[in-house]
Amino acid sequence: MLYDIRLHLSYDYDAAAGGSRHQVRVLPQTIAGVQRVVAASLSFVPTPSERTDFADFFGNNVTAIAFRDVHDGLDIRMSARVSVSRPEPDLDVSPDLQRLREELGAVRSLAPDAPHHFLTASDHAGIDAAITAYAKGSADGSTVGTATDLCNRIHRDFTYDGEATTVHTRASDAFRLKRGVCQDFSHIMIAGLRGLGIPAGYVSGFLRTIPPKGKPRLEGADAMHAWVKVWCGRDAGWQEFDPTNGMRASNDHITVGYGRDYSDVAPIVGVLKTTGGQVGDQAVDVIPVALEKV
């Protein structure tokens, strides 16, 4: 699949900011065998006093910006053309959980994609006894089988509710509520798998949404999405699951970044020299190029 992606983030401040610094993670990345960025651009209004583009530890594209002049808001626009071609899932060659622990012990790497980084508690996805107990209901058979069952159970047992949580909600809180959004369901799945000894990480990106039959797609109707990557052993490697939709990641999933949880790949983080609050808005369009009119 070939997509044109447009993202618009806007922030209006209650009072003018005398200065600010931010790190922005919204640019898709090229991933061998999965997706290729054909072209991409990222712009800001006002124009930053400083701008630096780099890759962080996990290989995510980061743009660091700073403003020295007074400004009363920030407008961010990203556009990209991305080709996605995920391989079809192979036969399940993943080990059971006992064998997985043995294979983990044989991994001596601390490279960014090493499973050891994704095995212990993190800020949004702590090891929680209640979540671990819930995840044990899926722990029967292979690692892929465990992850698949847990993914499907979260999709079935939890209610999607955009008003129930915030970006600061931890997995344990969302689990007690039994409701939330893609970020929460991903954190719950990550926490549950880690509680079983299975390395799991957070994936930030975009998801193409398909309008109802006979209805036009709506401008800005898509949103940034989150799902889960799971280390399924030496031979199966990393596999990706979407608990919000109860499915494997597909060619409709476009990856921006990987991390231990949301805090590693938040679209924007930073500090402002100001008073009062701010109002933010987000709009995303994920457009299959093949469907565009010439």
Give the integer Cα–Cα distance in Å for 212 and 79.
25
Residue 294, pLDDT > 80, answer no
Q: Over the stretch 63-89, which tens digit does the pLDDT of each residue have? A: 999 999 999 999 999 999 999 999 988
Q: How confident is the prediction for the chain on average, in pLDDT?
A: 93
- HSE, side-chain direction, 13 A CA sphere, residue 129: 0
Give the integer Cα–Cα distance in Å for 246 and 156.
8
DSSP for 108-129?
---STT-GGGGSS--SSS---H
Give the integer Cα–Cα distance in Å for 186 and 221.
21
pLDDT at 125: 97
Residue 256, pLDDT > 90, answer yes
Residue 140, pLDDT > 90, answer no
Q: Over the stretch 143-174, which tens digit does the pLDDT of each residue have? A: 999 999 999 999 999 999 999 999 999 999 99
pTM of the model: 0.94
Residue 210, pLDDT > 80, answer no
pLDDT at 212: 67
Q: Over the stretch 20-42, which tens digit does the pLDDT of each residue have? A: 999 999 999 999 999 999 999 99
188 contacts: CB under 8 Å, gap ≥ 6: 131, 154, 158, 171, 174, 175, 180, 243
Of the chain, the percentage scoring pLDDT greater than 70 comes to 96
Q: Which pLDDT band holds residue 214 (cuts at 50, 70, 90)?
A: confident
pLDDT at 292: 47
Give the integer Cα–Cα distance in Å for 136 and 248.
20
Residue 232, pLDDT > 90, answer yes
- Residues 223-232: what's their mean pLDDT? 94
- Residues 243-264: what's their mean pLDDT? 96
Residue 293, pLDDT > 50, answer no
pLDDT at 290: 67
